[in-house]
Amino acid sequence: MRARRKEIEDIVSGGLATNGLAAAGWFRIEPGDLPSDTHASFAGAPALLVGNRGGAMWRAFSAASGHGDGRETPLDRWTARVMGETGARLHLPHAMLFPFGATLWPFQRWARRAMGIGPSPLGILIHPQFGLWHALRAAIVFPGVDIKPPRLEPVAHPCERCDDKPCLSACPVGAFDAQGFAVAACREYLRRSDRDPDCMDRGCAARAACPIGREWRYDEDQVRFHMESFGG
Ligand code: B12
Ligand code: SF4
Ligand code: SF4
């Protein structure tokens, strides 16, 4: 089956704009991306990545009824709902994949392929415009549909020109070094009663130290929500 990339992008972007989500780029699923042969039909299929940048998604999500209903993973449930509504408008065979849930899909690998961006020393992918203030929310896979992902233009990697790397010295427990991210040290600090009101209340100090895309920084409610889901 043939389909036009632009038409799909318009339907997806139209459906998602009011929810603060956006089409982030096309990529092709490679056989090595599949965690098991259960999804073999996805190998070679084109896919559209969906993400959020800055605080727009948070404002839409906070206003939605699912937030604060006391049940677990409200953002994941909201994302699945709005993506399901968008998918219903596509009238094309597709599968909706998420960066949460039982299957561990390699979303960062896909973002590198779809957007051309690279990792920061913190593990989070850095975008030349949005800095560290963007994330990945879904991938719409089109098995059996003939769509050619566009060729990527080269994308600047801000960390290559950042000599001081303030992100690496801002963490109060030195959780980031050449070995990667010491998750246990970070979580232990977040649970300490004598910690500064930083990190949990204002968001990861290492992430906040990055000068790129500061105007896209999440507001306090949003960072607190993410930090509580991560370390609370
Ligand atoms: C497991 C996981 C974690 C684990 C371990 C991370 C790790 N060492 O891999 C923990 C719980 C520590 C974690 C933490 C965070 N995570 Co996380 N995490 C994931 C998850 C669910 C799977 C990653 C994975 O294992 N993939 C499997 C392999 C096969 O896929 P991959 O793409 O090839 O894997 C890459 C990552 O593992 C990455 N990586 C390696 N080391 C680290 C370290 C960190 C901190 C991160 C974020 C990534 C990372 O490199 C791999 C090669 O590209 C992804 C969602 C997803 N499904 O991809 C989110 C994801 C990577 N996390 C994300 C984020 C934002 C965070 C937090 C910043 C959350 C927050 N608090 O806001 C924190 C960082 C801690 C902090 N102090 O703030 C984002 C990153 C977005 C981006 N711009 O790149 C993702 C993509 C989720 C999303 N919805 O967008 N995370
Ligand atoms: S502070 Fe510099 S090295 Fe660290 S993430 Fe930002 S641009 Fe990259
Ligand atoms: S949340 Fe705080 S303790 Fe954890 S890595 Fe970030 S700066 Fe370090």
Which residue's CA is the nearest one to ligand 3's atom 8? Answer: 171
CA of 119 to the centre of ligand 2 (A): 10
Nearest to 52 by CA among 20, 76, 96, 18: 20
Cα 142 from Cα 145, distance rounded (Å): 6
**Among 124, 159, 221, 228, which residue has the most ligand 1 atoms within 8 Å of its CB, making it the best to mutate?**
124
What's this model's pTM, rounded to 2 decimal places? 0.95
pLDDT above 70: percentage of residues in the chain: 97
DSSP-derived letter for residue 153 is P
Q: What is the mean pLDDT of the chain?
A: 93
Q: Which amino acid is at 103?
A: T
pLDDT of residue 38: 84
Please report which confidence band the pLDDT of residue 232 belongs to, taking 50, 70 and 90 as the band edges.
low
pLDDT at position 3 over 80: no
- Pairing relationship of beta strands 180-181 and 46-53 according to DSSP bridges: unpaired
Q: Which residues line ligand 1 (CB under 6 A)?
A: 99, 104-109, 123-125, 134-136, 180-181, 183, 186, 204, 226-227, 230
Q: Which residues line ligand 2 (CB under 6 A)?
A: 120-121, 126, 158-159, 162, 165-167, 210, 212
Number of neighbouring beta carbons within 10 Å of residue 1: 10
Residue 113's Cβ-count burial label (10 Å; 0-12, 13-18, 19+) is: buried
pLDDT at position 196 over 80: no
CB 230 within 8 A of CB 184: no
Q: Which amino acid is at 73?
A: T
What would the pLDDT profile of 49-100 be if each residue is shown by its tens digit? 999 999 999 999 999 865 667 778 899 999 999 999 999 999 999 999 999 9
pLDDT of residue 68: 66
CA distances from 143 to 61, 147, 203 (A): 30, 10, 39
Q: With a 6 A CB cut-off, is 171 part of the ligand 3 pocket?
A: yes
What would the pLDDT profile of 130-160 be if each residue is shown by its tens digit? 999 999 999 999 999 999 999 999 999 999 9
